[in-house]
Structure 1
Amino acid sequence: MKPEDMLIELLNVYSPSGSEGEVSRLIRDYMDELGFQNPVIDGQLNVVSVNGNGIPSVFLCGHEDTVPGILPVRRDGDLYYGRGAVDAKSSLLALILGAKRALDNGFNGKLLISAASGEESDSKGINTIMENYQGYNYAIFGEPGGAMNITAGYKGRILLKVDKRTETHHASSAWMEVNAIDSLMDFWLALRSKYGKNKDFNSITAGITRFQGGEYDNMTPEHASMYIDIRYPKSVSENDLIAEIKSDMKDILVEDYSFNVENRTEPYISDIRSPLVKSFKEAIAKNNMSPRLIFKSGSGDMNNLGNRWHIPVITYGPGDTRLSHTQNEVINIKDFYKSVDVIADSLKILSQYSINSNQA
């Protein structure tokens, strides 16, 4: 099957987090067709294949799940549209094909190639892989960034749920009592004034993602809740940030409120002097592009593995990251093929670095 046909197949399978069964079977069968060693689906619906036995040992991981929301799949010349076209089925496929070419061209190390589940939700896939496979020298994650860009850092994340309870009263007398929705809105507006407009990688950002409250149109609510997604750089202490937010919460919500950190991810910054980063820079230059290191305000599975395994990790893949999670996910097939070339070449260069290091 041609790579662009496989990309269309992947896009046609709707695979939001928690529904990866069909796409995992498709990926396993394709990897088997390509000749990877014993690709298997584990208990968390990850697809995993271990190939070779030597140095360097490299873990390559893309994610097979997407955010919810079906998008029409179509092709318009070099442009391929559909949910996951950007985030991140094209990057996953580029990793698979780049690894295959490297193995065919004599890569003598060890490659663990995986398609992980749950990246867009609870990271169940990468957590299971980290428990069952260890001892790798480097890791490469597949996420959009563009064929010339190496993602060398992600912010940390705190997902905060805040609840507020108040007495109910008639809507015509809204002035009489505190309103749960009003209180949460006041708190959010205070956070937004501090963090909501920040764009710099070294700043704290915040976005409200869910809000719920009220049951009747003529009675103020007794309960309201909201989720706030907070991203923070490595220079900021998570404990200090939470303490500051708690202080604001106490000043504004006063009483009868509660909060819980529903999810947390530590920030991660790559070692930009590592052989992994150097090999990608060389491979990008070899393919007539100018390499750039970029740092993203989001977070990903790279954060989890990089902080636990303590090895050099980067993220790489085709596509415009600004289109992730949008209604206009589209990938240019030329960008995709450039990424395949870069991945294959970078693995060859990384292998040569290891040979030279062992001979020194």
Structure 2
Amino acid sequence: MTPRELLWELVSTPSVSGGESDAAGVLVDYFEDAGRNAWLDDAGNVRAPGDDGVLLTSHIDTVPGHIDVREERATSETPQGDGETVVRELWGRGSVDATGPLAAMAAASVATGASFAGVVEEETTSSGARHLVEDRTEPDAVVNGEPSGWDAVTLGYRGFLTGTYTVATESAHSSRPDPNAVQHAVAWTERVQSAFDDDDPVFESVTVKPVDFDGGLAEDGRSVTATVETQFRLPPGTTASDVRAAVADCTEVGAVAWSDDSVPPVMVSPRTTVAGALRAGIRDAGGDPAHLRKTGTSDANLYAAAWDCPVATYGPGDSALDHAPDERIDLADFDRGVDVLTTTAQRLCTS
């Protein structure tokens, strides 16, 4: 099976978080057909051990949302901006985030003998990555698979924290001026957002994002309740404790329950061996490498926190299309991504 065939097969196989088993089976078959030992661990991750000079790892799961899997031709400006060229694109959920990087890593692992892991539930709980760092020995280096564009290396991600605010008030006629629970919840949200407002760039700021709101008269009619689930993105230098303390100062009534699966931010040096190997791979493929800082969060945060080895993130695909209804990947860029990862692994593998 060629790398493109593997990509098509994986994109065609639904793998929403919690339902990755069929796609995991595709990966196991791919490695076994190449003569590599591969299996599913207790978390549902695909494990294909090899040369631990570098661990190539990406996530199997995608967000929900069906997109018909198809190949289309499109026009794109030339790099010099002096005309247009025809490109071939593969459409489908996960083609960018992160099935494209996943397939490229699997192909590079087979080509070089590098260790590989395809992990589950990155889009929800990161249970696969959490299990991986507890269950295996530390590799010499990690390349985490997320879309960076084929000619860029991602060095930084913000951290992640979730808090759920709840409040209840006694029921009363709506003509009374005293605030009810819904008003308290709205006011709390505004205070918290104001507490973190600043003029810093997004990557260097705490982002407050309410993602779920529920409120109204309780079933027994005796109280009004409200609940706000809120996600926080943390820049390097800010801890979960910092955010919890700031939110406590904003919480005059009600209470906040914090998740216990926070993810720390990460910002790594561009001078590590893994970043250098990726840049060399990009140059060998004809690119001019760039460095990125992402405003989201990835499993790279967990690997960098758990292991004392160099970590960088790389993968073909335009991250502007992550989770989008028109998610698609340029197949020529995918091919370049395979080449970059193959060169990177060849430089880092020890045998």
State TM-score, norm by structure 2. Answer: 0.89
Identical positions, percent: 27
Shift of 1:34: 2.7
Amino acid at match of 1:62: S
Amino acid at match of 1:234: P
Amino acid at match of 1:84: G
- The 3-state SS of whatever aligns with 1:264 is coil
Once the two structures are superposed, residues 307-353 of structure 1 have per-residue CA deviations (whole angstroms, 9 ceiling, x without a partner) of: 111210001001111221222211111111111010111122234xx
1:126 and 2:129 are equivalent in the alignment: yes
Q: Which residue of 1 aligns with 2:111?
A: 101
Aligned mates of 2:70, 2:93 — CA distance in 1: 11
Going from structure 1 to structure 2, the CA distance change for 1:196 and 1:121 (only over 3 Å counts) comes to farther
Q: Which residue of 1 aligns with 2:26?
A: 26
Aligned mates of 2:241, 2:95 — CA distance in 1: 37
Q: Which residue of 2 aligns with 1:41?
A: 40
Q: How does 1:20-99 map to 2 (within 5 A)?
A: 20-35=20-35, 37-52=36-51, 57-77=53-73, 78-99=88-109
Aligned residues: 335
Shift of 1:285: 1.2
Is the contact between residue 171 and residue 217 of structure 2 (CA under 8 Å) also seen in structure 1?
no
Unaligned ranges ≥5, structure 2: 74-87
1:334 and 2:317 are equivalent in the alignment: no
Aligned mates of 2:16, 2:223 — CA distance in 1: 33
Is the contact between residue 170 and residue 220 of structure 1 (CA under 8 Å) also seen in structure 2?
no
1:135 and 2:138 are equivalent in the alignment: yes
Is the contact between residue 138 and residue 311 of structure 1 (CA under 8 Å) also seen in structure 2?
yes
- The 3-state SS of whatever aligns with 1:326 is coil
Amino acid at match of 1:50: P
Aligned mates of 1:322, 1:40 — CA distance in 2: 33
Q: Which residue of 2 aligns with 1:189?
A: 190
Shift of 1:215: 5.6
- The 3-state SS of whatever aligns with 1:185 is helix
Is the contact between residue 302 and residue 314 of structure 1 (CA under 8 Å) also seen in structure 2?
yes
Q: How does 1:1-360 map to 2 (within 5 A)?
A: 1-35=1-35, 37-52=36-51, 57-77=53-73, 78-103=88-113, 111-171=114-174, 173=175, 175-195=176-196, 199-214=201-216, 222-249=224-251, 254-351=252-349
Is the contact between residue 240 and residue 262 of structure 2 (CA under 8 Å) also seen in structure 1?
no
- The 3-state SS of whatever aligns with 2:291 is strand
- Root-mean-square deviation (CA, aligned residues, Å) is 2.2
Aligned mates of 1:280, 1:30 — CA distance in 2: 24
- The 3-state SS of whatever aligns with 2:326 is coil
Going from structure 1 to structure 2, the CA distance change for 1:8 and 1:240 (only over 3 Å counts) comes to same
Amino acid at match of 1:64: I
Going from structure 1 to structure 2, the CA distance change for 1:180 and 1:220 (only over 3 Å counts) comes to farther
Amino acid at match of 1:203: S
Amino acid at match of 2:204: N
Is the contact between residue 160 and residue 262 of structure 1 (CA under 8 Å) also seen in structure 2?
no
Aligned mates of 1:220, 1:204 — CA distance in 2: 37
Shift of 1:69: 2.4
Going from structure 1 to structure 2, the CA distance change for 1:326 and 1:167 (only over 3 Å counts) comes to farther
- The 3-state SS of whatever aligns with 2:288 is coil
- The 3-state SS of whatever aligns with 1:346 is helix
Once the two structures are superposed, residues 194-248 of structure 1 have per-residue CA deviations (whole angstroms, 9 ceiling, x without a partner) of: 547864311211211111122689x896211111111111222332222111101
Going from structure 1 to structure 2, the CA distance change for 1:238 and 1:343 (only over 3 Å counts) comes to same
Is the contact between residue 265 and residue 304 of structure 1 (CA under 8 Å) also seen in structure 2?
yes
> Where is the helix percentage greater, Structure 1 or Structure 2?
1
Shift of 1:155: 1.0
Aligned mates of 1:100, 1:256 — CA distance in 2: 54
Is the contact between residue 57 and residue 145 of structure 2 (CA under 8 Å) also seen in structure 1?
yes
Q: Which residue of 1 aligns with 2:84?
A: none
